[in-house]
């Protein structure tokens, strides 16, 4: 479904779509977006459109630029091409995506350098995605899981304001108003900074 490579000295993801028809797998279309995806949750399809969250940072080679960041792209199939019809770029310059989850018309995006910004990105207008909310707290969330009633459960690492990780943590966010996400509760499961999920 995707691969990554270098083009014009920039890391990009090549995305390929296939139609599954019984026992047959048929090539449908291809496209590309800047950066790379952290996990399978960085891709999502809704109403025939593909939404993709990427980080431009080239952490593979240890480089880090405050001028790059993350982005969310919306692609539409046209013939054999997947064309970008909308995007929002430059999210959290100098940071990498740690977790992402698409829930209906909202993309929840977590980046990390010293603190954990939880971003809400409005995708209701596919040609004009926009960051509409942000919450900064210590640590970061790796896995984001939507709960009924407008809540978000996350699993990741707790931390301090200076970016020191202090243990494995589970957090609950109230995201009923995506313009003002709030932390409701947090449980540090292990104070061992080597714990992970």
In the 3-class helix/strand/coil scheme, how is the chain assigned residue by residue?
A: CEEEEEECCEEEEEEEEEEEECCEEEEEEEEEEECECCCHHHEEEECCEEEEEEECCCHHHCCCCCCCCEEEEEEEEECCEEEEEEEEEEECCCCEEEEEEEECCEEEEEEECCEEEEEEEECCCCCCCEEEEEEEEECEEEEEEEECCCEEEEEEEEECCCCCEEEEEEEEEECCCCCCCEEEEEEEEECCCCCCC
Measured in Å, how far apart are the chain's first and last C-alpha atoms? 25
Cα angle for residues 141, 180, 146 (degrees, 5° grid): 45
pLDDT-derived band of residue 195, with 50, 70 and 90 as boundaries?
A: low
Sign of CA dihedral 60, 62, 68, 71: positive
Instruction: Return the pLDDT at 1.
Output: 47
Q: How far apart are CA 58 and CA 56, in angstroms?
A: 6
Q: What is the pLDDT of residue 196?
A: 64
- pTM for the full predicted model: 0.87
| pLDDT value of residue 79 | 96
pLDDT in tens, 141-186: 889 999 999 999 999 888 888 877 778 899 999 999 999 999 999 9
For residues 8 and 119, which has the higher predicted lDDT (pLDDT)? 119
Q: For position 120, what pLDDT does the model report?
A: 97
Mean pLDDT, residues 87-98: 90
Q: Pick from 139, 141, 121: which is nearest to 131 by CA?
A: 121
Q: What is the pLDDT of residue 59?
A: 52
Say which residue the tokens 């950066």 belong to. Answer: 35
Share of the chain above pLDDT 70, in %: 84
| Predicted confidence (pLDDT) at residue 54 exceeds the cutoff of 60 | yes
Neighbour-count burial of 20, counting CB atoms closer than 10 A to its CB (0-12 exposed, 13-18 middle, 19+ buried)? exposed
């Amino acid at each position: 479904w995707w691969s990554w490579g270098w083009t014009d000295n920039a890391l990009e993801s090549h995305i390929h779509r296939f139609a599954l028809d019984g026992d047959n797998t048929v090539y449908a279309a291809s496209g590309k977006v800047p950066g790379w995806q952290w996990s399978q949750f960085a891709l999502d399809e809704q109403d025939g459109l593909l939404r993709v969250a990427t980080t431009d940072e080239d952490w593979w080679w240890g480089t880090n630029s405050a001028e790059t960041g993350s982005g969310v792209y919306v692609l539409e199939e046209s013939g054999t091409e997947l064309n970008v019809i909308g995007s929002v770029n430059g999210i959290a310059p100098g940071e990498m995506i740690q977790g992402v989850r698409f829930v209906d018309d909202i993309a929840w995006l977590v980046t990390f350098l010293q603190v954990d910004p939880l971003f809400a990105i409005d995708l209701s207008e596919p040609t004009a995605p926009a960051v509409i909310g942000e919450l900064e707290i210590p640590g970061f969330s790796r896995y984001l899981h939507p709960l009924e009633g407008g809540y978000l459960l996350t699993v990741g690492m707790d931390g301090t304001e200076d970016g020191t990780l202090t243990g494995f943590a589970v957090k609950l966010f109230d995201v009923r108003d995506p313009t003002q996400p709030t932390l409701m509760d947090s449980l540090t499961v292990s104070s061992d900074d080597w714990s992970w999920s």
